[in-house]
């Protein structure tokens, strides 16, 4: 199930769907979801519950950074801090993914009691993957770009991931925050330079997705609640 804010205006998703065979296409549902809208979240949870009764993996990918030209962020100094922008970033980058996790937690339940797993095929555990950012690391922040509200909102997401990991672990659900690396998407476009591209510092989307799926595939219970980059290296909180 792919969830998008405005179905029909997600060109990458649409071209992917158009490339599929009829049989493959029939296995993918597209739902409307604004992660800041609790009614949308509850509707998605209800629809999945009624149709499938379970969720094996939740990928929280939606995020906002801004472009500095048409938005107040990402901020370069304190004077650029804008309350509404700060609240919106929190809503999309931190509260939205945590509300989705909360509303889907029952469907993600993979274990009943200590050893009674509910899934008989593939991975026994279910997963929640949250896309975060290296700049969210408080420990790693030794100066450079201010980017206040983006850093704050992703650090809040990371805190939510660690906090929820204890409760989710008891039901057989693992959760992580992953940094995809600088990837060639609409979000990073305003911050890419020719030099970065020449040095291979901007990853093609397919590369990033492949690396992130490798990290997810190699995940063990000890990784739940952690913060990792695209190569599986731990990032300090």
Ligand X SMILES: NC(=O)c1ccc[n+]([C@@H]2O[C@H](COP(=O)([O-])OP(=O)(O)OC[C@H]3O[C@@H](n4cnc5c(N)ncnc54)[C@H](OP(=O)(O)O)[C@@H]3O)[C@@H](O)[C@H]2O)c1
* CA 151 – CA 72 distance, rounded (Å): 14
> CB-wise, 110 or 135, nearer to ligand X?
135
Q: How far is the CB of 82 from ligand X (least distance, A)?
A: 17
> In angstroms, what is the minimal distance from the CB of 115 to ligand X?
35
- Distance in Å, CB of 64 to ligand X, minimum: 5
User: Residues in the chain, how many?
Assistant: 237
Closer CB to ligand X, residue 110 or residue 129?
A: 129
Residue pair 4/35 in contact by the 8 Å Cβ criterion = no
Contact 135, 150 (CB under 8 A): yes
Give the shortest CB-88-to-ligand X separation in angstroms. Answer: 9
**Exposed (0-12), middle (13-18) or buried (19+): which is 24, by Cβ within 10 Å?**
exposed
DSSP tag of 92 = I
Residue 169 or 191 having the CB closest to ligand X? 191
The residue at minimum Cβ distance from ligand X is: 63
Q: How remote is the C-alpha of 70 from its chain's centroid?
A: 24
Q: Write out the residues near ligand X by the rule CB under 6 A.
A: 5-6, 33-36, 61-65, 92, 131, 133, 179-180, 182-183, 185-188
Judged by beta carbon, residue 35 or residue 108, the one nearer ligand X is: 35
Give me the residue label for tokens 């769907």: 17
């Amino acid at each position: 199930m792919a969830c998008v804010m405005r179905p029909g205006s997600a060109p990458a998703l649409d071209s992917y769907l158009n490339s599929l065979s009829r049989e493959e296409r029939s296995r993918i549902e597209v739902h409307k979801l604004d992660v800041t809208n609790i009614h949308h979240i509850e509707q998605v949870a209800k629809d999945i519950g009624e149709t499938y009764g379970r969720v094996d993996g939740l990928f929280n990918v939606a995020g906002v950074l801004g472009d500095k030209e048409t938005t107040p962020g990402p901020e370069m100094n304190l004077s650029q801090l804008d309350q509404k922008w700060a609240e919106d970033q929190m809503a999309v980058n931190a509260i939205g993914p945590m509300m989705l996790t909360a509303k889907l937690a029952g469907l993600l339940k993979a274990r009943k009691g200590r050893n009674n797993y509910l899934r008989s095929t593939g991975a026994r555990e279910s997963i929640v993957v949250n896309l975060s950012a290296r700049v969210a690391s408080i420990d790693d922040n030794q100066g450079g770009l201010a980017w206040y509200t983006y850093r704050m909102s992703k650090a809040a997401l990371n805190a939510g991931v660690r906090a929820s990991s204890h409760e989710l672990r008891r039901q057989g659900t693992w959760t992580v925050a992953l940094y995809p690396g600088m990837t060639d998407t609409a979000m990073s476009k305003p911050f890419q330079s020719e030099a970065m591209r020449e040095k291979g510092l901007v990853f093609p989307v397919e590369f990033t997705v492949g690396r992130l799926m490798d990290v997810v595939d190699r995940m063990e219970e000890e990784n739940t609640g952690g913060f990792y980059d695209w190569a599986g290296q731990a990032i300090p909180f």
